[in-house]
Amino acid sequence: MGQGFWRVFWIFFGNLWDLAKLNMLFCLCALPFAAAFLTGFFGIYTGFMYILAIIAAFPIGGALAAHVFCVTKMLREEPGYVWHDFKRKFLENVKQAAAPGIFCVVFVCVQIFMPVTAAGVIFLLLFLLAVPYVFLQIAYIDLPISKIIKNGVMLSLMNAPKSLIGVLLGGLIWIAFVLYLPLSLIAIPFFLFIGFSFSWLLCLCWVWPPVNKQFKIEEAIQKSLD
């Protein structure tokens, strides 16, 4: 655990500017959705804006796949160029990842309007456990989306301890943000600068090893380079 902590520490500070660039790219992709959703949330043409928000969420799946790809390159300590890698993976996966991305943002936003129940919390947790596995596969594995989703659910359950630790660590800053509202609004610049990338780094340092082991990704990458 101690070695893992220091490894994440050095990866974070050693790639701080690249993580910030990744964060900015993801925020740019999510901006149209966020603008439409918040406009509707505050009561301005609510129904129309929510429909527009769903349409505007189209690029988010591709951005998530590109984001996790770039973060895992850092975990693999493989040299990369954020702008190029993000653009390439985004364009490769934006169509396939569109439906999962839209489903994710709609599912999470619906939780805002739902009463908190034990069953709802459990279902949300199971959903969040599978999400990293789904987008890692989209980024690295050429499979039909139905197979990817099935694999994602199975892998998250087969590796439940690591999945849970990854989700809890990755979601820690977001949980703190919600719990300490409205005081936590002062942290918005942090989230815009590095928050998403920091969350993915904490999550993927636990989730990436099982995915890599299952699909032998690093071994395939090495073979392609030889």
User: What is the structure's pLDDT at 4?
Assistant: 63
- Of 166, 76, 183, 90, the C-alpha closest to 130 is 166
Q: Is 137:211 a contact under the CB 8 Å cutoff? A: yes
In 115-179, alpha helices (H): 118-140, 145-158, 160-179
- Judge whether residue 133 has pLDDT over 60: yes
- The residue length of the chain stands at 226
Those residues with Cβ within 8 angstroms of residue 196's Cβ, 6 or more apart along the chain or in another chain = 22, 23, 26, 27, 67
- The model's pTM is 0.93
Determine the Cα–Cα distance for residues 170 and 135; give it in Å rounded to an integer.
15
**Percentage of the chain surpassing pLDDT 90?**
73
Find the distance separating the first CA and the last CA of the chain, reported in whole Å.
33
Residue 121 has a pLDDT of: 84
Residue 114 confidence class, pLDDT cut points 50, 70, 90: confident
Whether the link from the prior residue into 209 is cis, omega within 30° of 0, is: no
Separation CA 159–CA 173 (nearest Å):
23
What number is the average pLDDT over the span 68-72?
Answer: 97
Domain range for residue 79?
A: 2-225
Between 159 and 116, the more confident residue is: 159
Taking only Cα atoms into account, the Rg of the chain, rounded to an integer number of angstroms, comes to: 17
Confidence class for position 226, pLDDT limits 50, 70, 90: low
pLDDT at 156 over 80: yes
| Crossing angle (nearest 10°) for helices 82-113 and 145-158 | 80
Burial 2-36 (b: 16+ CB within 10 A, else e): eeeeeebeebbeebeebbbbbbbbbbebbebbeeb
% of the chain beyond a pLDDT of 70: 98
What is the tally of structural domains in the chain? Answer: 1
pLDDT tops 50 at residue 169: yes
